[in-house]
C-alpha cells in the first residue's frame, strides 16, 4: 500500500518532467507527505497542469469530507467497479509525482520504515484518480493512489504497492481522458524491479509532524532481534 511519500523536486523540475504548466502557487519540499494534506498532482485538461489536491478521494456524492480518509488508495483489481472510484477512473485520472515512498516492513522487533526510490530517474509517477465534490458551497478537490500486488522487491517489504507508470507512453495513456478503460486497466501492474531501489530509514517518519531531509537518509537496524 502507499500511505506516505516524499516530494522534494522543485515545481520547475516537476513541470519539466510532466510537460505541465507551472502553477502560481508555491510548494514546499516534502519528506513526509501524508493523507489529508494538499499535494501536487498532474491532471490533463487540454494541457497538463500541476494542481494541489487533498490526498484521500472524496466522491462527488459525499456529504462528509471525512470519507476521504478511507479513500487514500484504490485497489486496481476493483477500481473500475467500486462506486467511490469508477466515475473518476473513467474520466478523471491523474499522475502523482513522487521522489520516493515509504512502506513499513514488519519484523520481529516491530515495524521498520523503508524508503523506496527510483533507481535511474528523479521522479516516480503514481497512477492516481481525482474528483471534485461540493459540500456546503465549497468545492473539494481530492485524489487517490492506485495500488497493485507487489513486485519481487516489494514482496519482501509489504503485500501491496502503488502503481508506478515508468514510461512516458503509459503516463500519456493514463492522463488522456479518452483512453479506453481496457487500456487503462492494463497499466495497473507492479512496475519492474529494475526501476527501484530501497533502504531502511528512521522511525522519525512515523510521526507526520516530522518533515525534514534526514527522514529519507539510510539507517541501519540490528540484524537480529533481541531475545526475550
Partner DNA sequence: CCAGACGTTGTT
Partner DNA sequence: GTCTGG
Q: Is residue 184 annotated as part of the catalytic site, yes or no? A: no
Among 83, 178, 220, 226, binds DNA (CB under 7 A): 83
Among 15, 20, 43, 56, binds DNA (CB under 7 A): 56
Strands 124-135 and 93-98, how do they pair?
antiparallel
The DSSP H or E segment spanning 114 is strand 110-118
Closest among 84, 63, 61 to 143, alpha carbons compared: 84
10 or 69: CB nearest DNA: 69
Closest among 144, 105, 152 to 128, alpha carbons compared: 144
Q: Are 63 and 135 in contact (CB under 8 A)?
A: yes
* Residue 92, number of CB atoms within 10 A of its CB: 19
Query: Which region, judged by CB under 7 A, interacts with DNA, from 116-124, 134-142, 157-165, 192-200?
Result: 157-165
* Residue 3, number of CB atoms within 10 A of its CB: 16
> Does 3 engage in binding with DNA (CB under 7 A)?
yes
> Does 61 engage in binding with DNA (CB under 7 A)?
yes
8 or 158: CB nearest DNA: 158
* 22 DSSP assignment: P
> Does 27 engage in binding with DNA (CB under 7 A)?
no
Query: Which region, judged by CB under 7 A, interacts with DNA, from 14-22, 43-51, 98-106, 188-196?
Result: 98-106
* 227 DSSP assignment: P
Among 10, 19, 25, 69, binds DNA (CB under 7 A): 69
> What sign for the dihedral angle of Cα 157, 116, 6, 143?
negative
Among 7, 15, 34, 41, binds DNA (CB under 7 A): 34
Q: Is residue 103 annotated as part of the catalytic site, yes or no? A: yes
| Residue of 16, 28, 77, 103 marked catalytic | 103
| DSSP letters spanning 118-141 | ESS-S-EEEEEEEEEEEETTEEEE
> Does 71 engage in binding with DNA (CB under 7 A)?
yes
Among 8, 38, 160, 199, binds DNA (CB under 7 A): 160
Chain residues in the site for DNA (CB under 7 A): 1-4, 34-37, 56, 59-61, 66, 69-75, 78-79, 82-85, 103-104, 106, 110-111, 147, 158-160, 203, 206-209
Q: Would you name the residues annotated as active-site residues?
A: 2, 103
Amino acid at each position: 500500500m502507499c500511505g506516505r511519500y516524499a516530494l522534494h523536486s522543485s515545481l520547475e523540475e516537476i513541470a519539466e518532467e510532466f510537460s505541465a504548466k507551472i502553477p502560481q502557487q508555491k510548494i514546499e519540499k516534502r519528506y513526509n507527505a501524508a493523507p489529508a494534506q494538499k499535494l501536487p498532482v498532474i491532471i490533463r485538461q487540454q494541457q497538463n497542469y500541476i494542481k494541489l489536491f487533498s490526498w484521500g478521494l472524496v466522491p462527488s456524492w459525499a456529504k462528509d469530507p471525512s470519507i476521504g480518509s478511507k479513500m487514500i488508495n484504490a485497489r486496481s483489481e476493483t477500481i473500475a467497479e467500486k462506486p467511490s472510484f469508477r466515475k473518476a477512473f473513467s474520466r478523471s485520472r491523474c499522475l502523482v509525482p513522487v521522489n520516493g515512498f515509504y512502506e513499513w516492513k514488519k519484523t520481529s522487533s516491530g515495524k521498520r520504515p523503508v524508503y523506496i526510490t527510483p533507481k535511474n530517474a528523479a521522479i516516480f509517477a503514481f497512477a492516481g484518480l481525482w474528483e471534485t465534490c461540493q459540500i456546503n458551497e465549497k468545492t473539494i478537490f481530492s485524489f487517490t493512489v492506485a495500488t497493485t500486488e507487489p513486485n519481487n522487491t516489494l514482496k519482501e517489504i509489504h503485500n501491496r504497492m502503488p502503481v508506478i507508470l515508468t514510461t512516458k507512453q503509459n503516463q500519456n495513456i493514463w492522463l488522456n481522458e479518452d483512453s479506453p478503460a481496457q487500456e487503462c486497466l492494463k497499466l495497473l501492474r507492479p512496475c519492474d524491479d529494475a526501476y527501484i531501489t530501497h533502504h531502511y530509514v528512521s522511525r522519525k517518519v512515523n510521526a507526520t509532524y516530522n518533515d525534514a531531509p534526514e527522514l529519507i537518509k539510510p539507517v541501519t537496524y540490528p540484524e537480529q532481534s533481541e531475545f526475550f
